[in-house]
Amino acid sequence: MFDPYSVALPAVADLSPYQPGKPQEELKRELGLDRVIKLASNENPLGCSPKALAVLKQPVDLARYPDGNAYQLKQALAQKLNINSDQLTIGNGSSEVLELLVKAFVTARDKVVISQHSFALYYLAAQAVNADICIVPASHWQHDLKQMSSLANDAKLVFIANPNNPTGSYHSLDSIRVFLNSLPESVLVVIDEAYIEYVTEDGSALSLLNEFPNLVITRTFSKVYGLAGLRIGYCVSSAQIADLLNRVRLPFNANTQAQNAAIAALFDQEFIDQSIKLNLQQKQVIYDGFERLRLDFIESQGNFVSVQVGDELGVYQSMLAQGIIVRPIGNYQMPGWLRFTIGLEQENQQALAALSKAI
């Protein structure tokens, strides 16, 4: 008998797959409801830019392959970010870019350093190539950059999520600079800025790229830009790193519609500002709600807040039964915690009411 599990790479056979938030349609089917509220995947509750939507309604020649080099999108990003277009790598979501980095640089037994309570894909991508994964305990729900630096001296690659998902913690530009200075240039440092647009403090590590040739910054159109369904993200690095990533990526990894919509979304500052403003206001609503319920939560620089509820699976199930999807994060070594994406006012109120009933 053919047993694929005994033939597969042991590192792959041992993997547990990424657990996404429960899809809305699935809960609708299960409960026979027309409407459910999903606050489980850090999506933009306002949808996407109307300008991106208008672009998507224009006909494109679907019989043709996309521009594999994403020329127009790279030009747009280069202009917006004030970088050269040859510093960019476009991916099928930034998840793909994270995987490309591992594919291009990490082999079995190379050391990869990540933080406890950090984004699951770093671990999954490194585990798939049987890397030597070093998980550094977090400190007060934050990456312990000092510890990470002392353990990463002989590493191939370090992943830093800034802000981090699911804790929402953020490290200032200064502390990132200190971290980068503390490492040899042989260590690739990947800073995942999926939520950087929401940060109210000093901002992106992009300004450090010229100082540090070993720095890579990943970004996405899935969060504030509201294009998670199109799958498009990118990274900014030295031109040399971009050249290497380009060698391992699939030729047409970003589709035509995604490239076109991303360009429109990038320049719709009004929509971005509106999204950030809503997030800030509603974050306070969520904080206040958790405080009223006397629940511990972690202050967040992202569009989500994690909260300690005790029996997280029980509370999660009870909220599901009330038509509300949030995210249990026991698999992030945070048993007892749920992560709430910040939604529209009405959605947050309903989620808080459901939570109150559930606990």
Binding site for ligand PLP (CB under 6 A): 42, 93-95, 119, 161, 165, 192, 194, 220, 222-223, 228, 233
Residue nearest to ligand PLP (CB): 93
Least distance CB 258 / ligand PLP (angstroms): 11
Residue closer to ligand PLP (CB basis): 142 or 349: 142
Question: Of the candidates 130, 126, 188, 120, which has an alpha carbon nearest to the alpha carbon of residue 157?
Answer: 188
Residue closer to ligand PLP (CB basis): 165 or 260: 165
Least distance CB 136 / ligand PLP (angstroms): 16
**Residue 43: strand pairing partners:** none
Least distance CB 275 / ligand PLP (angstroms): 15
Give the Å distances, CA to CA, from 339 to 41, 160, 214.
9, 20, 32
Residue closer to ligand PLP (CB basis): 76 or 160: 160
Least distance CB 290 / ligand PLP (angstroms): 21
Q: Give me 29's structure tokens.
A: 């089917």
Residue closer to ligand PLP (CB basis): 93 or 289: 93
Residue closer to ligand PLP (CB basis): 214 or 222: 222
By DSSP bridging, strand 324-325 and strand 132-136 are unpaired
Q: How far is CA 98 from the centre of its chain?
A: 10
Least distance CB 44 / ligand PLP (angstroms): 11
Helices of type H across the chain: 4-7, 10-13, 24-31, 50-57, 71-81, 94-105, 120-128, 145-152, 173-181, 239-248, 256-266, 269-292, 312-321, 345-358
